[in-house]
Amino acid sequence: MSEETLLTRYASSEEERLEQEVRPRVLNEFVGQESIRQQLTIAMQAARARGDAVDHILLYGPPGLGKTTLAQIVAAEMGGGLRTTSGPAIDHQGMLGSLLTGLEPRDVLFIDEVHRLSRPIEEALYPAMEDFAFDWVAGKGVGAQAMRLSLNHFTLVAATTRAGALGNALRDRFGLTFRVDFYSPEDLCKIIYRSASILGVPIQEDAAPLLAARSRGTPRIANRLLRRARDFAQVQSASTISADIVEECLAVLGIDKHGLDGSDRRVLQLLCQTFAGKPTGLGTMAASLQEETETLEDVIEPYLLRLGLIARTPRGRVPTAAAFELLGLPTSRAVFPEELVLPLESTPTSDR
């Protein structure tokens, strides 16, 4: 293994370790998502009073908003263990059976990317969620026998960026369904101050709002930018993270005052210049930008929609007048319905 590969792996593991350090451990430490916090508090208090597992929970929304953290908090608050997996990783019913039968009472099974479960695995989850039983077939051919194993009462916490991709049969089996939304700048400031305290990095009052404003409403990005600003402060032998250090850091990272980075601007340039504002399919965009469609749809697009820079139409994605203005292009080139136009400063609370 080359030295470069070793350094890359070390840097990656160090980032993951730091990310785990700043994650809230209990619900009282979790900032934002007030409605979710209130409902989860009531549900978990009631479940503890009954001595039972809390209802199954579906969390959906863009990545980086705390879905995994909420699963960890539910496990900790309920006094159970946490088993973590993802939809693509469960590739046969035997693996699912192994996960389910290994759960203790009030344990949490967290399945990320639940929309990518295969149909047979999804159907095998139905009795597990409803009856706490796992059905399987022993043997083959005429000697095959249907068997049922009883399971301990557990909580399934499932996360997805595409709630619409879930079948109704699976979605209806969750007792609690929450949309995890983008965070306000005020909540992001609280997260940044808390993370800075945990990391032992002093940050000035005028610096935190700058980081929050460029974090795309996403705690994961806010914490990542904080760590980069810490690096800049360390290199400059500064005792605190100041506004000047944050501005310099963001300039080097190519993040503008709207929180847009190079990937965002490439998307806008493609729609506004290459395709001259005409509706463009997601597959065409992905091929032109040499990006995965999942990256465009799940990571880049939600924030551009939230800022009102692009819109979805039955014929494809189109840029709004605000996108042309941001790029310094004449808005007369926009060829889309007037009702889709949103001003740049418009920041809806949802990307739907």
Residue 195, CB-side half-sphere exposure with 13 Å CA sphere? 29
Q: Pseudo-torsion of CA 113, 118, 124, 129, nearest 10°?
A: 20
Identify whether the C-beta of residue 318 lies closer than 8 Å to the C-beta of residue 331: no
Residue 142 carries which DSSP code?
A: G
Is residue 220 part of the annotated active site? The answer reads yes
Q: Please tell me the distance from the alpha carbon of residue 27 to that of residue 73, in angstroms, as a whole number.
A: 6
Residues 6 or more apart whose CB falls under 8 angstroms from that of 159 comprise 58, 59, 60, 67, 68, 71, 110, 111, 112, 113, 114
Catalytic: which of 23, 67, 216, 317?
Answer: 67
Q: Please tell me the distance from the alpha carbon of residue 251 to that of residue 195, in angstroms, as a whole number.
A: 22
Is residue 67 part of the annotated active site? The answer reads yes
The alpha helices in 92-159, defined as continuous H runs, are 93-101, 119-131
Q: What is the CA 69 to chain-centroid distance, rounded?
A: 10
Helix (H, G, I), strand (E, B) or coil at 246: helix
Is residue 101 part of the annotated active site? The answer reads no
Going by C-alpha positions, the residue among 109, 100, 122, 96 that lies closest to residue 157 is: 109
Residues pairing with 59 in the sheet: 159, 178
Q: How many C-beta neighbours within 10 Å does residue 143 have?
A: 7
Is residue 112 part of the annotated active site? The answer reads yes
Is residue 264 part of the annotated active site? The answer reads no
Catalytic: which of 69, 160, 161, 280?
Answer: 161
Catalytic: which of 68, 69, 160, 218?
Answer: 68
Helix (H, G, I), strand (E, B) or coil at 20: helix
Catalytic: which of 69, 107, 112, 187?
Answer: 112
> Which tokens go with 222?
């806010």
Residues 6 or more apart whose CB falls under 8 angstroms from that of 51 comprise none
Catalytic: which of 23, 106, 214, 220?
Answer: 220
Q: What is the CA 330 to chain-centroid distance, rounded?
A: 35
Catalytic sites, residue numbers? 67-68, 112, 161, 220
